[in-house]
Structure 1
């Protein structure tokens, strides 16, 4: 289960985003945390909150994305 941490920037960690990210600002950044979790945040709000996702959950998400196991988002 992911938890929302509203503590702003996490000191002492290096956030990164995928080289596949475009320049439109619709990116997320991730970081490996010492608590066996992956931090995920909106790149436009670097000082805002982030989600802590367990490593196993992040791994399952990445594998699902690589396998195209998600349905397309229907935009309204």
Structure 2
């Protein structure tokens, strides 16, 4: 995970969030091919976590299991 500058990212809510207030948002257009993640309650100025693609894939697999 890395601290990232505020790029012009496009964010989407997790399909598992159900549209409520407790949503995870993910960006797919980071210029360094990283996966930024944030909590929708603190967006846009709140903290973001950034994962390498392989770490994000492992995280998603773990949640699904």
What is the TM-score normalised by the length of structure 2?
0.76
List 4+ stretches of structure 1 deviating above 3 A.
none
Alignment of 1:1-76 (within 5 A): 2-5=1-4, 7=5, 10-22=6-18, 23=20, 25-32=21-28, 33-46=30-43, 47-66=45-64, 68=65
Which sections of structure 1, spanning at least 5 residues, go unmatched? 69-76
Q: Cα RMSD over matched residues?
A: 1.7
Which sections of structure 2, spanning at least 5 residues, go unmatched? none
TM-aligned CA deviation for residue 52 of structure 1: 1.1
**Equivalenced residues, count:** 62
